[in-house]
Amino acid sequence: MKQKNMIALVLPMLLPLQASLAQTLSPREVPAKSLPVPSTASPAIQKMIAAPLTPTWNIIPTTADGWREQVAAGAAATEKTIPALLEKLQVKVESTVIDGVKAFSVTPTLISPQNKDRLLIHVHGGCFVSSPGLSGTVEAIYMAGFEHIKVISVDYRMPPDHPYPAALDDAMKVWSATTKTHDPKKMGIFGSSAGGNLTLAMVLRAKRDKLPLPAAIAPGTPMSDLTGAGDSFQTNHMVDNVLVAFGANCDMRAALYTNGHDPKDPMLSPVYGDFSGFPPTILTTGTRDLLLSNTVRVHRKLRNAGVPSSLQVFEGQSHAQYYRDINAPETKEAFSEIGLFFNHYLER
Amino acid sequence: MKQKNMIALVLPMLLPLQASLAQTLSPREVPAKSLPVPSTASPAIQKMIAAPLTPTWNIIPTTADGWREQVAAGAAATEKTIPALLEKLQVKVESTVIDGVKAFSVTPTLISPQNKDRLLIHVHGGCFVSSPGLSGTVEAIYMAGFEHIKVISVDYRMPPDHPYPAALDDAMKVWSATTKTHDPKKMGIFGSSAGGNLTLAMVLRAKRDKLPLPAAIAPGTPMSDLTGAGDSFQTNHMVDNVLVAFGANCDMRAALYTNGHDPKDPMLSPVYGDFSGFPPTILTTGTRDLLLSNTVRVHRKLRNAGVPSSLQVFEGQSHAQYYRDINAPETKEAFSEIGLFFNHYLER
């Protein structure tokens, strides 16, 4: 009950700025339902769908130290899984510092001939607060290992100590520095969730600052709208077992990031940005994803701006479940699609 | 109550063939919710989202004459809207007969230069039973008018008088005949819902019978799986205001079509077919679509078969709402995307 009351108290801050028409129209009443696990996903994904809600989805720390503890616990649990990943995918991860920003060099044993001179920059997820250090490299390891390409994963600064724009500043420093040593026509940027937000925001900022743009980007299920708008926040409420509900733990973390800035600023909610001149973009989401809408809205907006853009939606998957089980066939499928897309648009 | 009982009686016939793992895993309990109209769709689509459930969604006739009456009432209502469509889009519709099959020639006043020798074959929706005659041409009129291309819309035979394979036989006769007078490299096939099913089934049958294949296809929100499998049948239950629920009116119509045949036969449920060698395919759906899953499953399966395939998903839309309001910007957007796709893959 205590948690529920806290949500009730903080939600008004995060309420979507509804257009007046939408407010005057009747809502649809949807009865309670019992959702069976679909037979139409692989057994590995079926198990993911059947998993209980993320234990911390609605446990909201009330102090900075409380957040630090929750984040540290999550990071420790993830880090334990990394040695097996590295072994299985034959990837090595090394700490580095690029223009003063902490990062990881994520390198597969085998680099494909076509990827010899290519480089991907990875910005990790975790709702802008979680997945510090090594724990943020999981998606980068999948990409490097499945697609045989070199990745640099940015270990950007995060709240509670470093709100916006620290993360974006750090990511841009790494982008700027690496484009001086690598040809940006041979470079891409990718990342999921908060990393999808940062991928899009990096391009907006590179445009603004007249920096080179990447040849292609792959924002996965991007947190593209921090104002709370997006229909699937409602339709997939309690259907998504990862994020579960709008205004819960993940959005409280995002609020630590926005830290009083206008969430409609395109650097915070990139869906409100100008997508003209964007590089080709591939987006990934799932039918149960709380951010399904905020993925397809970005796709539509890119297409309306004339940007070559591809959308993949995985059956039954909640938020960012396409890189949670290395053995699920859908995992390999998702990365293969992204790899093919980068291979098509990045120069050799 | 009477209607509800009928649904309860007929549903067991239609229950999905669940894989054993899925059956053993726990369902997710989702509480009742009140879904606001999202501000993230255009005002025209917001009004569509706010509309009440289709009045007949759960009114199931019990006799063949009852079906005929319900279908005739729907067709009459739709036909009334057609003169204004033709006027607005500058399109004319003429009855024709092709190899004994009734059809409509749907021709825009202005045909684009690149479309001069191109021809699209349209197979209409209506859950295999509805939208006879002129009432089945709406989507063809949108395509001809927005994309300035000639369309032939097949007025295929339907239940209760003509179950499977009558519709597919008719569509294939038109396909076969028109490929003798037109170059199939300059031809495409499209249609939504039951028409999406038939579009896919036509390609499966053309492959089987070694007939020419179209240069590209555009199945919209296809009824690709008549067995009841597909997660969004459950997740978008009562969220979609067009089809509303699995096992309701639309699936009862589909059952008249399958008429005792195995619904898992790929000619009835094309998602179970072999998609190798398929022509490039563009798929369209919405985030609230009861057939969201059965659209994305087709997309994934096509991609896994190496077929160039594009997916567009519209924010907040229920089943096939992308061709319900000629003035909604999303309507023009959907057809523009399909037009660009055909323009890319059809020879001139």
pLDDT at residue A283 greater than cutoff 50: yes
pLDDT at residue A8 greater than cutoff 80: no
Strands A91-98 and A101-108 turn out to be antiparallel
pLDDT at residue A15 greater than cutoff 80: no
C-beta atoms of A32 and B37 within 8 A: no
**Domain extent listing, chain B:** 51-345
Q: Which of B23, B50, B292 sits opposite A287 (nearest CB)?
A: B292
C-beta atoms of A232 and B41 within 8 A: no
Q: How far is CA B41 from CA A26, A115, B47, B262, B321, in A?
A: 15, 40, 10, 39, 12
C-beta atoms of A300 and B315 within 8 A: yes
- Taking residues B264-281, report their average pLDDT: 98
Residue bearing tokens 């206008």 = A262
- Taking residues B184-197, report their average pLDDT: 98
For chain B, the three-class secondary structure string (H helix, E strand, C coil) is CHHHHHHHHHHHHHCCCCCHHHHHCCCEEECCEEECCCCCCCHHHHHHHHCCCCCCCCCCCCCHHHHHHHHHHHHHHHHHHHHHHHHHHCEEEEEEEECCEEEEEEEECCCCHHHCCCEEEEECCCCCCCCCHHHHHHHHHHHHHHHCCCEEEECCCCCCCCCCCHHHHHHHHHHHHHHHHCCHHHEEEEEECHHHHHHHHHHHHHHHCCCCCCCEEEEECCCCCCCCCCCHHHHCCCCCCCCCCCCCHHHHHHHHHHCCCCCCCCCCCHHHCCCCCCCCEEEEEECCCCCHHHHHHHHHHHHHCCCCEEEEEECCCCCCHHHCCCCCHHHHHHHHHHHHHHHHHCCC
Separation CA B214–CA B138 (nearest Å): 22
Residue A10 pLDDT grade (very low, low, confident, very high; cuts 50, 70, 90): very low
Residue B5 pLDDT grade (very low, low, confident, very high; cuts 50, 70, 90): very low
CB burial of B11-42 (b: ≥16 within 10 Å; e: otherwise) equals eeebebebbebbeebeebebeebebbbbbbbb
Report the half-sphere exposure of B316 (CA within 13 A, side-chain side). Answer: 26
Which amino acid is residue A144, in one-letter code?
A: A
For residues B173 and B100, the answer to whether their CB atoms sit within 8 Å is yes
Q: Which of B35, B231, B313 sits opposite A311 (nearest CB)?
A: B313
Nearest CA to B219 out of B311, B328, B318, B114 is that of B311
Q: Which residues does residue B97 pair with via DSSP β-bridges, in sequence order?
A: B102
**Helical H runs in chain A?**
2-14, 20-24, 43-50, 64-89, 138-147, 166-181, 194-208, 232-235, 249-258, 292-304, 329-345
Separation CA B206–CA A48 (nearest Å): 38
- Taking residues B21-46, report their average pLDDT: 95
Residue bearing tokens 């959907």 = B334
C-beta atoms of B38 and A300 within 8 A: no
Q: What tokens appear for A169 in the block?
A: 């500043």
Looking at every residue in chain A, the average pLDDT score rounds to: 95
Establish whether this prediction's ipTM goes over 0.90.
yes
In a mutational test of the B interface, the residue from A227, A315, A318, A331 whose CB has the highest number of chain B CBs within 10 Å is A315
Find chain A residues with C-beta within 8 A of B245's C-beta. none
- Taking residues B257-265, report their average pLDDT: 97
pLDDT digits (tens, 9 = 90+) for B115-156: 999 999 999 999 999 999 999 999 999 999 999 999 999 999
C-beta atoms of A239 and B17 within 8 A: no
pLDDT of residue B1: 32
Nearest-5° angle of CA A124, CA A270, CA B45? 125
B310 near A CB under 8 A: yes
* Residues contacting residue B276 through CB under 8 Å, at least 6 positions apart: B305, B306
pLDDT at residue B283 greater than cutoff 90: yes
pLDDT of residue B154: 99
A287 near B CB under 8 A: yes
Mind telling me how many Å the CA of A219 is from chain B's nearest CA? Answer: 16
pLDDT at residue B111 greater than cutoff 80: yes
C-beta atoms of B235 and A234 within 8 A: no
Q: Which of A22, A38, A241 sits opposite B36 (nearest CB)?
A: A22
Prediction pTM value: 0.95
C-beta atoms of B315 and A296 within 8 A: yes
- Taking residues A238-267, report their average pLDDT: 98
Q: Which of A30, A39, A304 sits opposite B18 (nearest CB)?
A: A39
* Residues contacting residue B171 through CB under 8 Å, at least 6 positions apart: B121, B123, B154, B156, B198, B202
Residue bearing tokens 């009852």 = B66
Nearest CA to A129 out of A100, A86, A160 is that of A160
B241 near A CB under 8 A: yes
Residue B23 pLDDT grade (very low, low, confident, very high; cuts 50, 70, 90): confident
Contacts A–B by Cβ distance under 8 A: 211
Question: How many C-beta atoms surround the C-beta of residue B329 within 10 A?
Answer: 14
Residue of B15 and A275 predicted with greater confidence = A275
Nearest CA to A36 out of B7, B259, B29 is that of B29
C-beta atoms of A35 and B311 within 8 A: no
pLDDT of residue B72: 98
Find chain B residues with C-beta within 8 A of A337's C-beta. 303
* Residues contacting residue A125 through CB under 8 Å, at least 6 positions apart: A131, A136, A139, A191, A192, A193, A194, A195, A196, A220, A320
Q: How far is CA A311 from CA A124, A274, B283, in A?
A: 20, 19, 11
Q: What tokens appear for B189 in the block?
A: 């096939």
3-state SS class at A276: coil
pLDDT at residue A13 greater than cutoff 70: no
Separation CA A32–CA A53 (nearest Å): 17
Mind telling me how many Å the CA of A283 is from chain B's nearest CA? Answer: 11
Residue B347 pLDDT grade (very low, low, confident, very high; cuts 50, 70, 90): very high
3-state SS class at A253: helix
pLDDT digits (tens, 9 = 90+) for A48-75: 999 999 999 999 999 999 999 999 999 9
End-to-end CA distance of chain A: 56
Report the half-sphere exposure of B239 (CA within 13 A, side-chain side). Answer: 30
pLDDT at residue B345 greater than cutoff 80: yes
Report the half-sphere exposure of B164 (CA within 13 A, side-chain side). Answer: 24
Separation CA A145–CA A335 (nearest Å): 10
Q: Which of B17, B37, B293 sits opposite A25 (nearest CB)?
A: B37
Q: Measured in whole angstroms, how far is the alpha carbon of residue A171 from the centre of its chain?
A: 14
User: Rounded to the nearest 10 degrees, what angle do helices A194-208 and A166-181 cross at?
Assistant: 60
Estimate the share of chain A in helix, then strand, then coil, as percent rounded to the nearest 5: 45, 15, 40
Q: Which of A234, A238, A315 sits opposite B231 (nearest CB)?
A: A315
Residue in chain B lying closest to A297 (CA): B315
pLDDT digits (tens, 9 = 90+) for A208-218: 999 999 999 99
In the CATH scheme, what architecture does the domain A55-345 have? 3-Layer(aba) Sandwich (3.40)
- The DSSP 8-state label assigned to residue A335 in this structure reads H
C-beta atoms of B35 and A21 within 8 A: no
For residues A174 and A101, the answer to whether their CB atoms sit within 8 Å is yes
Q: Which of A17, A23, A31 sits opposite B32 (nearest CB)?
A: A31
Q: Which of A231, A236, A313 sits opposite B316 (nearest CB)?
A: A231
Mind telling me how many Å the CA of B97 is from chain A's nearest CA? Answer: 39
B17 near A CB under 8 A: yes
pLDDT of residue A327: 96
Separation CA B86–CA B83 (nearest Å): 5
Find chain A residues with C-beta within 8 A of B22's C-beta. 36-39, 46
Q: Which CATH number fits domain B51-345: 3.30.200.20, 3.30.565.10, 3.40.50.1820, 1.10.1060.10?
A: 3.40.50.1820
- Taking residues A223-244, report their average pLDDT: 98
pLDDT digits (tens, 9 = 90+) for A112-123: 999 999 999 999
C-beta atoms of B28 and A34 within 8 A: yes
A64 near B CB under 8 A: no
pLDDT at residue A2 greater than cutoff 70: no
pLDDT at residue B245 greater than cutoff 80: yes
Mind telling me how many Å the CA of A225 is from chain B's nearest CA? Answer: 11
pLDDT of residue B13: 47
C-beta atoms of A29 and B30 within 8 A: no
Strands B216-220 and B187-192 turn out to be parallel
Looking at every residue in chain B, the average pLDDT score rounds to: 95
